Amino acid sequence: MIKQALLIAALLAVMLPPAPARSAPVAETLNLDASDAPRQVWHATLHVPLTAGGDVALVFPKWKPGNHAPTGQVNNLGMLRATAGGAAVPWTRDPNDLYTFHFAVPSGATELDLAYDVYEGTAAGGDMSAAM
């Protein structure tokens, strides 16, 4: 299950739209805190460099490698917080695709920071979504 949580976090980072060319390469930074792994909860932060503010759409991976159906477990994503320059950034889910998240980033912002949790588990091991 840890591998699945890491895969979800990595795929979220990979699914970001590419940034326009810059003089120096800039990459997203993903940090994963597995201190709650015994409870099947993984905390992640994702730093996304931006070239401009406005509506920034990020897509949770719907199709996972080796699966023959859209099995991305967006329902395991919880506690999503977004900030830009230390200020909270409002977000909404796309009304047509629940895997897409829209962030209203203020103009002039150069980065978007996300903090979120990934909940894992089964009915026998304690399904976290039932407690949310």
pLDDT tens per residue, range 114-125:
999 999 875 444
pLDDT tens per residue, range 45-100:
999 999 888 999 999 888 888 888 888 888 888 899 999 999 999 999 999 998 99
- pLDDT score of 24: 53
Domain around 26: 2-131
Whichever domain contains 67, its CATH number is 2.60.40.3650
Contacts of 52-57 with CB under 8 Å at 24 or more apart are: 52/107, 53/84, 53/105, 53/106, 53/107, 53/108, 53/109, 54/104, 54/105, 54/107, 55/102, 55/103, 55/104, 55/105, 56/102, 56/103, 56/105, 56/112, 57/17, 57/94, 57/100, 57/101, 57/102, 57/103
Count of domains for the chain:
1
Whole-model pTM: value is 0.70
